[in-house]
Chains A and B, each alone.
Chain A
Amino acid sequence: MSTKQHLIYNPACECMSRDELLALQSARLAETVKREYENVPMYRARMDEKGIKPEDIRSVEDLKYLPFMQKTDLRDYYPFQLLASPRSEIVRIQGSSGTTGKPIVSGYTRNDVDVWSEMMARTLTAAGCTKDDVVQVAYGLGLFTGGFGAYQGADRIGAMVVPMSSGNTQRQIMMMKDLGVTLLCCTPSYATYLGETIREMGLVPGRDIKLKAGCFGAEPWTEAMRARLEELLGIDACDIYGLTEIAGPGVAFDCLEKHGMHVNEDHVIAEIIDPVTEEQLPYGQSGELVFTTITKTGMPMIRYRTHDICSLNDKPCECGRTLARMSRITGRTDDMLIIRGVNVFPSQIETVLVGTQGVAPHYMLIVDRVNNSDTLEVQVEMTDDMFSDTVGHIETVRRYITEQIKSVVGISAKVTLVAPKSVPRSEGKAKRVIDNRKL
């Protein structure tokens, strides 16, 4: 048996028997499908096309008959056509990157914000958070779900929240020290950077810094990074998974056993499918993760394809939870990159270049990790139209492209001008990304 002391926020939901859970999921699924069919014309049409009526969906077993939803649906039916509740019931908008220039947005009803807060309260509690803790939120507070998710979860628990948002490392550390922060929420790479800066400043974790745990997510990381973070800060480093389309952070979370992230299955149903045949795969097998929300009312998602590759494990956990666990994400089935916690699609960069006069649409993205921070270099080919005999003129064009990328993608990239035809052309699908990060 584990010797760790496990805190559970909602034992009735997190530790119910698998049979009870299945019955609950089935009832909630039927309700969600009915709501979706009645309120979302696009999904109704998709069900009609397959000859499926809401009353055909009676249990989780029937999930496999339902049509999928995709990120492109959030673009094609942007911003409100996927709402299954009246617009007046929406109390919040959150967003994330789309595959082209426009972000995707999700509308939350009061119920949805509550459900999300509950999921994050469970997440933080599993990392050891109680109302006596001080929680520093160093995820960005804005359209990005990270900041608000962490804030709401800590607020639900009744902990003391320090809503720092991202950036300004010196001030983050000052607050951490002065307020006796015990829990940190941010990306794992930023946590490592904070930890290294703390050490460089001569501060001693355990004496000057009171951190005991952290909930780190929004980007892929490894067991090696976990070990490094735990050593650096003297904490339990917990992984956390989520996506705006489903709720935000807290869809799945590590307990202190750190053997897979518990999926909040009373609110979402997780499936693993073969990304090619779209057939369901059994527990333990690796494939594409698919989510169905079963309590969301604003913008429910049915069989939403995450494109993340992982496996599920339904074995009971040492911590006492019965919620199935998902493994770390081992890859993607599409070309999405996660850079400094931001989802980046090469097609977004292409949109910027195609939309800038005189710029060639050929480009190469080079991603690396320097000093624990991701870097993005965008190589753009020089063209006759862009060229000038003065440096100032060329720099103006380069700066313009940099600013456009920043405004569309949301992160700073280093734009490098390269010789014409130096970006490799290939037959069929061009290789647009070189990812040098060692993960």
Chain B
Amino acid sequence: MFISQISVFLENKAGALREMTALLGQGGVDLLALSLADTQSFGIVRLIVHSGQIDEAMRLLKDGGYVARINHVICAAVPDRPMGLSELLGVIEEANLSVEYMYSFMRASKAGTANMILRLNDGAKAAQVFALKDVVMLSQDDVDALGAAN
């Protein structure tokens, strides 16, 4: 139900994001999805990589002096049509859950769906609700398959 995500702390200064992505890129880590949250004074980068590359990515980041951590998020497949996302958010709202952040995958697993990565205030409850409401969730294997398809 859950997939692993790496979050990295970045200072809000020129070149910070490029340096970090270059570090991972030179280490051969392939980024499957990325989102950047920025405030006036700092940024958080969230990354999805192939599960086989998580340890290597974390090692590169720690050795590079970055503060980074792994946590778990939900990846939901949303029908790729008008109202697709809105309906998913309706399910979330109905269950009294709230979205802390959300971003989308760069690659679709199959035609006609878009993959959304969601961090909800209560992940366990969200997974139950989604299963009940037939929201399609990607497993870590599904996500890894997206990377392999490259």
A420 touches B65 (CB 8 A): yes
User: CB of B44 within 8 A of chain A?
Assistant: yes
| Of B7, B39, B46, the contact of A387 (CB 8 Å cutoff) | B7
Q: Mark A27-49, 1 if CB is under 8 A from B, else 0.
A: 00000000000000000000000
Of the 9-residue stretches B66-74, B105-113, B132-140, which lies at the interface with chain A? B66-74
Q: How far is the CA of A278 from the CA of B7 in the complex (A)?
A: 55
User: CB of A185 within 8 A of chain B?
Assistant: no
Min CB gap A198→B, angstroms: 32
Q: How far is the CA of A416 from the CA of B11 in the complex (A)?
A: 9
Q: Taking each of B5, B42, B100, which has the highest tally of chain A beta carbons within 10 Å of its own beta carbon?
A: B42
A382 touches B9 (CB 8 A): yes
A389 touches B119 (CB 8 A): yes
User: CB of B41 within 8 A of chain A?
Assistant: yes
A421 touches B65 (CB 8 A): yes
Closest 5 CB pairs of A and B: A389-B7, A382-B9, A387-B67, A382-B67, A417-B42
Min CB gap B48→A, angstroms: 12
B9 touches A387 (CB 8 A): yes
For chain A, give the interface size range: 20 to 34
Chain A residues close to B by CB (< 8 Å): 382-384, 386-392, 394-395, 398, 416-422
> A386-B67, A389-B7, A389-B101 provided; 9 other pairs, C-beta below 8 A?
A388-B69, A389-B119, A390-B101, A391-B44, A391-B101, A398-B41, A417-B42, A419-B9, A420-B66
Q: How far is the CA of A420 from the CA of B42 in the complex (A)?
A: 13
User: CB of B37 within 8 A of chain A?
Assistant: yes
The number of residues on chain B lying at the interface, defined by a beta carbon within 8 Å of a beta carbon of chain A, is 20
Q: How far is the CA of A257 from the CA of B46 in the complex (A)?
A: 65
A419 touches B66 (CB 8 A): yes
Q: How far is the CA of A323 from the CA of B67 in the complex (A)?
A: 60
B119 touches A390 (CB 8 A): yes
Q: Would you list 13 pairs from A and B whose C-beta atoms are within 8 A, ordered by A residue? A: A389-B5, A389-B71, A389-B119, A390-B101, A390-B119, A391-B44, A391-B101, A392-B100, A417-B41, A418-B11, A419-B65, A419-B66, A421-B65
Min CB gap A380→B, angstroms: 10
Q: Which residues B98-150 have CB closer than 8 A to chain A?
A: 100-101, 119
B67 touches A416 (CB 8 A): no
Where chain A touches its partner, the secondary structure class is loop
| Of A388, A418, A422, the contact of B7 (CB 8 Å cutoff) | A388
User: In the complex, which residues of chain A have a beta carbon less than 8 angstroms from the beta carbon of B119?
Assistant: 389-390
Among residues of A, the one whose C-beta sits closest to the C-beta of B72 is: A389
B69 touches A389 (CB 8 A): yes
Min CB gap A252→B, angstroms: 41
Q: How far is the CA of A386 from the CA of B68 in the complex (A)?
A: 11
Among residues of A, the one whose C-beta sits closest to the C-beta of B73 is: A389
Q: How far is the CA of A395 from the CA of B44 in the complex (A)?
A: 12
Q: Mark B34-71, 1 if CB is under 8 A from A, else 0.
A: 00010101101010000000000000000001111101
User: In the complex, which residues of chain A have a beta carbon less than 8 angstroms from the beta carbon of B100?
Assistant: 390, 392
B39 touches A419 (CB 8 A): no
A383 touches B67 (CB 8 A): yes
Q: How far is the CA of A387 from the CA of B45 in the complex (A)?
A: 12
Q: How far is the CA of A388 from the CA of B69 in the complex (A)?
A: 8
Min CB gap B43→A, angstroms: 9
Q: Mark B1-24, 1 if CB is under 8 A from A, else 0.
A: 000010101110000000000000
A389 touches B41 (CB 8 A): no
Min CB gap B119→A, angstroms: 7
B42 touches A382 (CB 8 A): yes
A420 touches B67 (CB 8 A): yes
User: In the complex, which residues of chain A have a beta carbon less than 8 angstroms from the beta carbon of B66?
Assistant: 419-420
A384 touches B39 (CB 8 A): no
User: In the complex, which residues of chain A have a beta carbon less than 8 angstroms from the beta carbon of B9?
Assistant: 382, 387, 417, 419
Q: Taking each of A382, A388, A392, A419, which has the highest tally of chain B beta carbons within 10 Å of its own beta carbon?
A: A419
A387 touches B69 (CB 8 A): yes
User: In the complex, which residues of chain A have a beta carbon less than 8 angstroms from the beta carbon of B65?
Assistant: 419-421
Min CB gap B47→A, angstroms: 10
A416 touches B7 (CB 8 A): no
Q: How far is the CA of A384 from the CA of B65 in the complex (A)?
A: 11
User: In the complex, which residues of chain B have a beta carbon less than 8 angstroms from the beta carbon of A421?
Assistant: 65
A416 touches B5 (CB 8 A): no
B67 touches A391 (CB 8 A): no
Q: How far is the CA of A392 from the CA of B71 in the complex (A)?
A: 16
Min CB gap A333→B, angstroms: 34
| Of B42, B46, B71, B101, the contact of A394 (CB 8 Å cutoff) | B42
User: In the complex, which residues of chain B have a beta carbon less than 8 angstroms from the beta carbon of A398?
Assistant: 41
Answer whether A394 and B11 are a contact pair too, CB < 8 Å, given A419-B66, A420-B67: no
B11 touches A391 (CB 8 A): no
User: In the complex, which residues of chain B have a beta carbon less than 8 angstroms from the beta carbon of A417?
Assistant: 9, 11, 41-42
User: In the complex, which residues of chain B have a beta carbon less than 8 angstroms from the beta carbon of A395?
Assistant: 39
| Of B5, B11, B44, B71, the contact of A419 (CB 8 Å cutoff) | B11
Min CB gap B11→A, angstroms: 5
Min CB gap B27→A, angstroms: 19
Q: Taking each of A386, A389, A421, which has the highest tally of chain B beta carbons within 10 Å of its own beta carbon?
A: A389
User: In the complex, which residues of chain A have a beta carbon less than 8 angstroms from the beta carbon of B101?
Assistant: 389-391
Q: How far is the CA of A291 from the CA of B119 in the complex (A)?
A: 62
Q: How far is the CA of A72 from the CA of B44 in the complex (A)?
A: 42
Min CB gap A375→B, angstroms: 14
Among residues of A, the one whose C-beta sits closest to the C-beta of B45 is: A389
Min CB gap B33→A, angstroms: 13
